[in-house]
Amino acid sequence: MHRRQHDYRGDRPSRAPRAPHGRHQRRGLPLSELDPALTDISRRVIGCAIEVHKDLGSGYPAEIYAKALQLEMNDENIKYKADHAIDVMFGDDKVGEVVASLFVEDRFIVDLLARPGDVGPGERLACRAKLRAMELELGLIINFCERRLKDGLVRVLNPDQIAALQRNGEGDSPEYDEDYEAEDNPRDPHEPHDRHDDADSGPAAEAGEGGAPEDPRPE
C-alpha cells in the first residue's frame, strides 16, 4: 500500500478550553520563537501591504491589491512567486492542487483577500493546509477590505513543522494544537497586531508616515 501509516499518540495534551458563547480560545505563539529571518521578511511584506492599503484604501477586487503588492515588493527587492501552485499528495499520489497568492523568498506563503468581514476559520484552515503540504512554518492572510489593514491581518502557523524543527534542533519540544497563531511582541509599538479572536479589544491605530496614527478611512 502506498499510504503512510499514521501515529496516533494517546498522550496528546487536551485542547484549549472553549471561550464564551462556544468559541474556541485561540492561543498565540510569540514571533520570537520563529526563525528571526522568517519574521523579518514577513514584517517587510506586511509593511509593503500597509503601503498599498494606505494608497488604494479598501473596496477594490483582490486582483488589484495583488498586483499593487507585487509592485511594492519589487521596489523592496523581495523575491516571490505569484499564484503559486501547491501539489496535494495522498501518499505517493498527487490528488490535486491548491494555490497561494504569493510564495515569498521560498519561506512562507501569503493569501490575499478583499471581502467584507473577518478572516474566518475556513480561510485559516485552508492556509494551514497549504503550509502542511509545503512543510512551511508560517503563512499570512491579508484582507484588504478592512479600513485599517491590521484588522484584516492574520498570521497562521503550521504546528507540525514548528514542532519538527524544534525537535531536530533542541530535542524534545512542546506540541502545538490547531489553534496556535503567531502573535507580535507587545513591546514593539510599530508592528501591526494580529486579530486573534472576535472578542479581542479594538486594535490600535495604524501607523502612518512618521509614526503618527492613521485615521480610519471613511466607508
* pLDDT digits 0-9 by tens, 24-75: 445 556 666 788 999 999 999 999 999 999 999 999 999 999 999 999 999 9
Q: Give residue 178's identity as a one-letter amino acid code.
A: E
Q: HSE on the CB side for 113, CA within 13 Å?
A: 22
Q: How far apart are CA 38 and CA 109, in angstroms?
A: 11
Task: Cell numbers for 20, please give them.
Answer: 464564551
Domain ranges of the chain: 28-185
User: DSSP letters along 83-150, please?
Assistant: EEEEEEEETTEEEEEEEEEEEETTTEEEEEE--SSPPPHHHHHHHHHHHHHHT-SEEEEEETTSSSGG
Task: Cell numbers for 218, please give them.
Answer: 471613511
Q: How far apart are CA 66 and CA 61, in angstroms?
A: 9
pLDDT over 90, % of the chain: 56
pLDDT over 70, % of the chain: 62
Evaluate whether the domain defined by 28-185 bears CATH number 3.80.10: no
